[in-house]
Structures are given as C-alpha cells and as structure tokens.
Chains A and B, each alone.
Chain A
C-alpha cells in the first residue's frame, strides 16, 4: 500500500513539474520568435519572472523523493540516462542564470546571447524529458543487477524521439497559451495564433505516442485517461479559437497532467521495466525503501505538500495581472499609460 502511495506521489510531483515548468519551457522556446524586440522579450520573461524558480523546485523534489522512496529507481535512472540527464542539467543551468543576468547589462549583444541561452535551455529539457519518459515506460536494457546496459543512442529510438516531440510541442502549446493569458498587446496576439498551429502538431504526436503504448500494453485505465488527455487538448484549441484564454490554458495544463497520468498507469507496477528480461524489471516493490522510511516521508508529504500548494497558489494570485509592454520596468514610460494595471 505504501509503495502505491509513493508511486502516486512521485507521479504527482512529475505532474506538478511538467504542468508548471512546461509553460516556462514553452515560453522560453517561443521567446525569440514571439518577442521581436527587447521590450517584448522582457515582457515575456517578466510574465514568468516571479514563478519560474518555484516551478523548477518541483523537479528537485521529484528527484529527492525518488531517491528517498525508490532508491534503486533513482540510481538506475540517473546513472543509466547519464548523458541525457547531464544535457538537461547544463540546459537548466544556462536558463536559470540567463533569466537573472539578462537584464544586468545594457548591451544588445549581451541580451541576445542570453535570449538564446533561454531558448536552448528550454528546448533541450522540453525535448529530453519526453525522450526519457517514453523510454522509461517502454523499457530499456537493464541487467540483473539493476544496471542500465544501453547508451545514449539506445534512448534515441523512434519511440523515444516521438516522446520528445510530444513534450516539446505540448510544452510549446502550453507556453503559448500561458503567454496569451498573461500578456497584452501584440505579443498576446502572436501567441494566440500559435496555440492552434503547434497544438495540432502536439495533438497528432500525443495521440500517436499514447496509441502506440496502448497497442503494446492494453491498459484500460490508461486508455481512458489518454482519451481524456486528447479531449482536454482539443478543448484547449477550441477555447483558444473562441478567445477564451483562461480555459485554453486550463485545457493545456489538463492535457499535460493527464498524459503523465496515462504514462504512469502504463508503467505500474513497474518503475523501470527491463527490455532485456522482465525478471529484471524495477518495480514499486524491489526498487523501494523500507516501510518505516515511506511512513515518515508520507507524514512529511501530507503536511507540507498542501502548504506548498497554498503559498505557490498565492504567488500566482498576487501576480495574476497581465503584463503589458508598458508595465515592464525601465521601458519608456508613456504618461498616463497603464502603469498600475
């Protein structure tokens, strides 16, 4: 039972991470294209300014919780997907520093450099997380000692790459929906148009991925959730056409969350199936910590997760207003403009 609870909690942490950092990644990828001058790019970056760092913490907690609850999963996954994870880490380093340092020098070259750091730092993890998760669910070569025996190229199989395309395009759609919801003016218009275009690509890719998996594993629950994810995404695109930006964003968030649920339903009761021999599968049982550790972690999680949701939610409430180009600090202030919107 405790194993199931922790499998569920790890899923919740990844859902939190992908739903929240998903739009940060999407915004970062779209930054050079939707933001066509420095003012517009600052407008975009400031739209996630107060929240991106808190969103990223979901990854750190997912990692830490996996270490504590399923040490063998943590060990096999991160030593096995070594170079992929390393690339993600380098990307996240570049991106985090870029947000903070971009505005610190008044030089076009300096800012352009950091803009591309944000782009690469967002695109690489958006792609590689999908590659990683598709491979986790599909199974990778793992020997009887729980050691990964493949290489980086093993992960870049068609299914893995499809997984990468799904997360990349889903996060871009999600990011565009966020921009449309959180900004004003020309940036908002451009984002609105992109939601549909990228969203359709994401829908095709996601349906292919989840359909492929379904054909392979035939898990009824996952099939239902996959359909719901597709419905959520298509509803988001419809809401976007009707200019209901709030609903569109809720739709993309739901689509990402449900897709992660579907992946975890396919995965259970494994946490990392072995393609070498099913006897070598890492499962919620053989990868897990002791009941005592899981009990303690459960108490901590039950007390603090709602608290975190509460204060993170509060931040979103405080910064709920749309960001206009004029509202970005240091932009030439027009008298009587909406400085306090």
Chain B
C-alpha cells in the first residue's frame, strides 16, 4: 500500500473509533443531566442514584472520546497537509471555533461537575452538567459544518494562483443545507445510541441484579424514549438528507443503490451482489422505492453511475469518479438495518416489560446487543457518507489523492497506524472492562451515597 492508501485507512480507523464514543458522550450528558434535574426537583433518592450510576459510565466513556479527539484535530495536518493547505481558509474556521466555543465549555464545566458535588450549590452543580451537554452539541454542530463543506462546498471561491479555496461567506458555510440536515440526523442518532445503552444496561440489571427495580425501570423507559424519539428524528432528517444527496452528490446516491444508468421509477435493492468492477451479479429489488427516497416521487429521476461518470469525465477530465459500490451499497443498508433493529428491540422490551413484567429468556442477550446496534449504525453511516464521497476529498474541488501529505512516507503512516490501532484496541478492552465492572457493581458504590457525603464529598474524584 502507498502512503495515500495507508493515510486513508488511518483516517478511517481513528475516525470510526472516535465516533464510537462521541454519540454516547452527547446523549449520556443529556440523560444524566435529566436524571439530576429530576433529583433536584423531587429530592427523590433514586434519581440521585441513577445520576451517579449513569454519570460514572458517562465519564468512563467521555475520557475515551476526549483522548481520541485530540488525534482528530491534528491528523489533517499530519497525513493530509495538501488538503489542509487547500481548505484551511474555509475549513479551519469552524474547527477553531469548535475548540474555543465548545471544547473549553465541555472540559471546564465537566471538571466542575466531577469535583464540585460538595463545593457548589446544588443548582450551580446541576447547571454544570447541562452546560457540558450543551457544549457537546455545539461541538457537533461546528465539526459537522466543516464536514458538510467537504460534502457540499458553499460560500467560497477558488484562488487559482495560490491553489486554495477561500472563504467568501461564513454564514453560508455555517448554514450549509447539508449541515442543517446532517446535524439533527447525527444528534438523533446519538440519542438512539445513548438511549439503547441506558435501556440495555437497565434491562440487564433488572434481569441479572434484581433489587433496584424502581430506578432501573425508570431508566429503561427513559432509554426507550430517547431511542424511539431519536429514531423518529433520524428517519425524518435522513429522508431530507437523502434528497440533499440526490441533488448535491448524485454519484453517492447512485452508488448507494448500485444503479448504473439514469432511470425513473428507480427500484431499491434489498440485497445484491457485485463483482469487483461494480457490475451487478444479482439482486432483489423493490420498484419505485429509490425514486421515492430521492425525490418523493415514484416517477422521479435517479441518475446512474455510468451517466454521471461520463458527465464528470467531460467536466473534470479523464478519471474514475465513482466510489466503491459494494461498500456504499452495504454500509447504507447496514446503517438502516441496524438502526431499525434497535428500535424494534426497544419496542419489544417495552411490550414485554409492561405493567411490571420482565422479558423472557432472550432478554439478557438482547439487552447486551441493544447498544451495539446503533453504534454499528453510526459507524456504517460515516463509512457510507465518507466512502460515498470518493474519489473526492472536497466534492468536485479536490481529489483525495491530491490531499495527502507529500513529505510523509508510507513507512511513517504505516508505523503510526499500527501503533494507533494497537493502542486503541488495548484501550477498548480496558474501557469495556471498566464499563462492565461498573454495570455489574452495586448501584451505589460504597462511599458514593449521600448519607455519608460529608466523609466522601466527591464521588467521582480520581
């Protein structure tokens, strides 16, 4: 593999890995803040217990999100220096604003929340977790605005002398239609993930560690609510995003379906098989569905890969302008499939747990699998959206092959990729081990209770 391919793998590995933690951070911040608000309002001990129990799980996850996020900030410069030179004038601003507005807010107020249990008035301490939660969402907006610009560049002009994109309209960049739909999509996806996590943990506790039924039944419901409401928003925003892609990145949509020629009444393949050249071997199709997804009209036109390829070749010069079809095809379907399964599992749990009942023998297995489903959906969604943009790094403006660092050797990228992967793998084992330990442990860790709060004032301290 050359440096380009290795750099792409490195970006894929580190980014997908980072995004395992991000959605949980975002949603758990809000859910924990919700539990703490309930405690603040009712003074009911069970909400305090839930705040601390899920709060600790939130912190174990948060640490991983933070440290893997540092890599994200610098790897544009490390592996993609020509990309950085080309886009810095536009792309750098949202990144810098993200740090200044969001990262400071998150980290400072989270520190206050962790260590401030006995030092801050209750209301201020509650505000600290809410501000942290707001910080996570702000961060998501700015980084998604930056990503949206790579998908659908707006508010810029190309300076051919300096060979770079130059910012002309910051409002256009921050209000890019792509970010306006991607943001709710990603945030709602985060709530599906956190909801599934909270519910999965709660159901597991109800089945395997009975005794704290009252709080965990509440948690299961809260988790289900977050998951299902998130699911509704994911559907709606995903539908809008699909139409956005149909007009702005028609090649991505064509590749999502593996559709070769432009057609109306385009079908949607439930499953299919392609050879390595992207030619279809067989598939099972449902008519009209893709046209409806792309245009809200069963007779709508969906452009095909071959037609777009010809169009781009005449527009940008000779070259292959289509992504790897099996990757986009399957990641698109796995995203939808995994997300839908999570919603079904949550509904099944709600039904089986109605009026104080408990789910039967598959309950434990499904509870464990539940959080993995939205996590998988998130990963496939990013693989779809980033791989579907190829061969472009900035759609229509810069090829991925033009963005890689000329001064970095393949050996250097390979070495750092191997070490990152090993380190990330080891940390994943540590993290899952700690989560499992906390989930299995008593609802209240000794010393964390409010009864002896005077002796143990900071339950989350190091």
Q: Which residues of A contact B (CB under 8 A)?
A: 42, 45-46, 49-54, 56-57, 59-61, 63-65, 67-72, 74-80, 82-83, 85-86, 89-90, 92-94, 96-97, 99-105, 145-149, 289-290, 292-293, 296-297, 300-301, 304-305, 308, 311-312, 315, 318-319, 328-330, 333, 339-340
Contacts and interface: CB of A to CB of B under 8 A. Distances in A.
Interface range, B side: 35 or more
Interface stretch (B30-38, B105-113, B220-228, B372-380): B105-113
Contact of B167 (A57, A67, A94, A293): A293
A163 B149 CA distance: 39
Given A93-B70, A104-B434, A315-B111, 7 more contacts: A59-B70, A60-B69, A61-B100, A75-B84, A78-B81, A103-B462, A329-B457
B322 interface: no
A285 to B, nearest CB: 12
A82 B6 CA distance: 15
Contact of B120 (A93, A292, A318, A333): A318
A57 B407 contact: no
Given A50-B116, A71-B89, A319-B115, A101 B100 contact: no
A93 B423 contact: yes
Nearest to A296: B170
A305 B447 CA distance: 39
A69 B92 contact: yes
A75 B430 contact: no
Nearest to B110: A53
B67 A96 contact: yes
A61 B96 contact: yes
Interface string B423-444: 1000100100010011000000
A67 B167 CA distance: 14
26 contacts: A46-B461, A49-B462, A60-B70, A60-B73, A65-B99, A75-B82, A77-B77, A78-B74, A79-B77, A79-B81, A80-B407, A85-B74, A86-B419, A92-B70, A99-B462, A100-B59, A102-B462, A103-B461, A147-B407, A149-B407, A300-B96, A300-B97, A301-B100, A304-B101, A311-B105, A315-B111
A79 B84 CA distance: 10
Given A64-B73, A101-B434, A102-B462, A72 B85 contact: yes
A297 B89 contact: no
A82 B78 contact: yes
Contacts of B328: none
Nearest to A145: B406
B81 A93 contact: no
A93 B447 contact: no
Given A49-B115, A100-B462, A54 B82 contact: no
Given A71-B89, A290-B167, A296-B170, A89 B74 contact: yes
Contact of B104 (A77, A308, A319): A308
B64 A82 contact: no
B167 A74 contact: no
A49 B114 contact: yes
B407 A304 contact: no
A319 B119 contact: yes
Given A148-B407, A312-B108, A86 B78 contact: yes
Interface of B: 59-60, 62-64, 66-71, 73-74, 76-79, 81-82, 84-85, 87-93, 95-101, 103-105, 107-112, 114-116, 119-120, 164, 166-168, 170, 405-408, 412, 415-416, 419-420, 423, 427, 430, 434, 437-438, 447, 454-459, 461-462
Contacts of B111: 49-54, 315
Contact of A53 (B66, B167, B457): B66
Contacts of A304: 100-101
A296 B67 CA distance: 29
Contacts of B415: 83
Contacts of A145: 406
Given A69-B92, A74-B77, A75-B77, A329 B458 contact: yes
A297 B88 CA distance: 13
A318 B119 contact: yes
Question: Binding site of A, secondary structure by majority: helix, strand, loop or mixed?
Answer: helix
Nearest to B79: A79
Nearest to B407: A147
A85 B419 contact: no
Contacts of A289: 88-89, 92, 167
A293 B104 contact: no
B77 A56 contact: no
Contacts of A76: 81
A163 to B, nearest CB: 20
Nearest to B91: A67
A70 B69 CA distance: 21
A67 B104 contact: no
Contacts of B434: 101, 104-105
A332 to B, nearest CB: 10
A304 B99 CA distance: 11
Contacts of A65: 92, 96, 99-100
In the complex, which of the residues B115, B168, B415 has the most CB atoms of chain A within 10 Å of its own CB atom?
A: B115
Given A50-B116, A101-B434, A330-B456, A68 B107 contact: no
A104 B108 CA distance: 22
A328 B104 contact: no
A315 B114 CA distance: 12
A293 B89 contact: yes
Nearest to B118: A340
Contacts of A64: 73, 92, 95-100
Contact of A61 (B59, B104, B166, B406): B104
Given A60-B103, A101-B434, A67 B84 contact: yes
A92 B67 contact: yes
Contacts of A102: 462
Contacts of B68: 93
A304 B108 CA distance: 14
Contacts of B115: 46, 49-50, 319
A290 B78 contact: no
Given A50-B112, A333-B455, A104 B60 contact: yes
A305 B100 contact: yes
B78 A74 contact: no
